[in-house]
Amino acid sequence: MDQRGASSHDRVRDKIADNSIVYDTIEYRFTKEMKHRDTWSIRDEFSMSRKGPSKSLCVRLPDSLILCLQQNECTRDDGSVIEYEHDLPSYINLSNWDKVEKEELLLGATKLDLTDSCIENSFLEALSHSKTIVTFWAQQCFNLTDVSSLGAISTLTELNLFSCIALTTVSGLKECVSLKDLNLAGCTSLVSIEGLEQIPTLTTLCLWRTRITDITCLGKSQSLSKLDISHSDVRDITALGKIKTLRSLKMGELPITEISCLRDSPLTHIDLWGCTMFNDMASLKTMKRLKTCVLGHTLVNDISCLPFASMW
């Protein structure tokens, strides 16, 4: 059979020798057992339809491989090529990679997961040219110190920077005109969130276990609806009473004693679990829109006036 008439299965078999290949209508899998229990594998999963494979594809590769999604191929570091019958994937997962190369080839993705990878600020600068990325997960990327360059990605709506412990500044994100969901939980080197209040679309912000102390700037937000400042170093919450869009607030284990600044707040949910100095029932009773309230491990011992409250 000549190359033009060969199936994708046969072409791959010709490209990569001495590998075990399993192929059916929904999956390619290529595995090669190496000595000393070393294994490299490529697993592509995609759904089939009458029109063929969808553009949703998950690519997970070990760090011994180099990603080269140039049109329809992936290149291994020894030069072997795997060809694909579908377009560049819209979902790329490169979590746990020690080294990510060919940054420019990732620009066509809409969802990019680089959790636990060793990317640096320079990688984000290359990525900033993307016109398609909607979701970007960079959890526990310990080399990142500045994500300002991501502000140039006008399509970005979700950014997860959980436990990027070296991150020191996010001011450049104020340019993210579409950002809705920002997770900065565990970013223990971050001391300022100045500029985030300027993001016109930001609805969800998580500052759990950060060392942020000043959230005054958030009082200027015109869109924030969900905020988590639990286990942070925040002490003054006065500015939160100025956010007319705020619906959900988590303040677990903060040393607050009263929340009078929130009496006119449109909050429907408030979580005060572990606020061991809190006993301001008078303010809670005036919050007319409040539907759920968590009061476990506070000084409150009578919630009969709040039929919706929970002590857990």
The pLDDT of residue 206: 98
Computed from CA positions of residues 189, 216, 197, 270, in that sequence, does the dihedral angle turn out positive or negative? positive
Domain extent, residue 196, equals 90-245
User: Do 281 and 180 have their domain in common?
Assistant: no
The pLDDT of residue 105: 62
Angstrom distance (rounded) from CA 190 to CA 165: 8
Low-confidence ranges of the chain (pLDDT < 50): 1-77, 79-88
User: Do 1 and 105 have their domain in common?
Assistant: no
Last residue of a domain, one of 245, 267, 285: 245
In tens, the pLDDT along 238-269 reads 999 999 999 999 999 999 999 999 999 999 99
The pLDDT of residue 84: 39
Concatenating the DSSP letter of every residue in 165-188 gives TT--B-GGGGG-TT--EEE-TT-T
pTM score > 0.85 for this model? no
The pLDDT of residue 311: 61
The pLDDT of residue 306: 82
As given in the structure block, the two tokens for residue 310 are 């929970």
Enumerate residues 6+ apart whose C-beta is below 8 A from 14. Answer: 3, 6
User: Do 101 and 171 have their domain in common?
Assistant: yes
User: Do 237 and 145 have their domain in common?
Assistant: yes
User: Do 236 and 123 have their domain in common?
Assistant: yes
Element (H, E) at 126: helix 121-127
User: Do 59 and 200 have their domain in common?
Assistant: no
The pLDDT of residue 312: 57
User: Do 114 and 76 have their domain in common?
Assistant: no
Q: Is 74 exposed, middle or buried (CB count within 10 Å of its CB: 0-12, 13-18, 19+)?
A: buried
Give the CATH number, domain containing residue 103.
3.80.10.10
Domain count, the chain: 3
Last residue of a domain, one of 33, 60, 89: 89
